Amino acid sequence: GDSVTQMEGPVTLSEEAFLTINCTYTATGYPSLFWYVQYPGEGLQLLLKATKADDKGSNKGFEATYRKETTSFHLEKGSVQVSDSAVYFCALTGRSNDYKLSFGAGTTVTVRA
Amino acid sequence: EAQVTQNPRYLITVTGKKLTVTCSQNMNHEYMSWYRQDPGLGLRQIYYSMNVEVTDKGDVPEGYKVSRKEKRNFPLILESPSPNQTSLYFCASRTAQGARSPLHFGNGTRLTVT
């Protein structure tokens, strides 16, 4: 079945550091890919998405590119802030199963001032 | 304000005592779903509903029930809670346009079963 694998955390960074969170997927066909973010004490919210190969999703300084050849959707941000401290989830929905979103395990990111 | 509202935020109960976690959304969304979040496992889907009176099992439905009598409400029922149901629970909703439309999440319910 469809699945997502994220790099394990926790990740601790200093402000203005570069952030990368790796995400790879297994799916039949061409899934749509997402990053959701969960701030402390809140539910998840959509950060960005990409629906076809080579698409780049971007939002709030974060970017991720849908790489079909490596089945990856790594999240990056060039200069993190303390307010980026959160749990980040990679997720996908398969073309054959459009109603279900499959999530990775989540990566906890802490940014120190 | 568009939102998904879950209640209660925190709940401590004992094994076997029936409980209900409520979920309500004000966005007229057709699709609603319940997830549980456990460390190292991410979010796993418990049940979902494509519309009123239409519900189906997710990946981990054992020990849970749901109902969808009205479009806005989707309660999660634990008839006989057990300690392995201690978890953080999220309700979510979206339009019927497919899973590529964003899910809107509630703020979660932290359940402890002793």
A62-to-B18, B46, B104, B106 alpha-carbon distances in Å:
43, 30, 20, 23
HEC string for chain B: CCCEEEECCEEEECCCCCEEEEEEECCCCCEEEEEEEECCCEEEEEEEEEECCEEEECCCCCCCEECCCCCCECCEEECCCCHHHCEEEEEEEECCCCCCCCCEECCCEEEEEC
Taking the CA of residue B114 and the nearest CA in chain A, the distance in Å comes to 23
- Contact B107/A45, CB-based, under 8 Å? no
> Which pLDDT score, from 0 to 100, does residue B101 have?
80
A90 closest CA partner among A76, A72, A103: A103
Amino acid at B4: V
Q: Which tops the pLDDT comparison, A12 or A102?
A: A12
Structure tokens, B91: 């309700």
- Contact A89/B48, CB-based, under 8 Å? no
Give the Cβ contact number of residue A44 at 10 Å.
28
Per-residue pLDDT for B99 more than 70?
no
Give the Cβ contact number of residue A98 at 10 Å.
14
> Which pLDDT score, from 0 to 100, does residue A98 have?
62
Q: Which residues of B touch A36 (CB under 8 A)?
A: 103
B7-64 pLDDT tens trace:
999 999 999 999 999 999 999 999 999 999 998 888 999 999 999 999 999 999 999 9
* Rounded-to-integer distance, Cα A2 and Cα A102, Å: 7
- Contact B99/A93, CB-based, under 8 Å? yes
> Which pLDDT score, from 0 to 100, does residue A9 have?
84
Q: How confident is the model at residue A39 (pLDDT cuts 50, 70, 90)?
A: very high
* CA A95 centroid distance within chain: 19
A78-to-A19, A66, A84 alpha-carbon distances in Å:
6, 18, 12
Average pLDDT over all residues of chain A: 92
A54-63: average pLDDT = 96
Q: Which of B23, B37, B45 to mutate to test the interface with A (most CBs of A within 10 A)?
A: B37
| CB of A106 closer than 8 Å to CB of A4 | no
* Rounded-to-integer distance, Cα B82 and Cα B59, Å: 18
Q: Which residues of A touch B41 (CB under 8 A)?
A: 105
> Which pLDDT score, from 0 to 100, does residue A21 have?
97
Alpha-carbon Rg for chain B, nearest whole angstrom, is 13
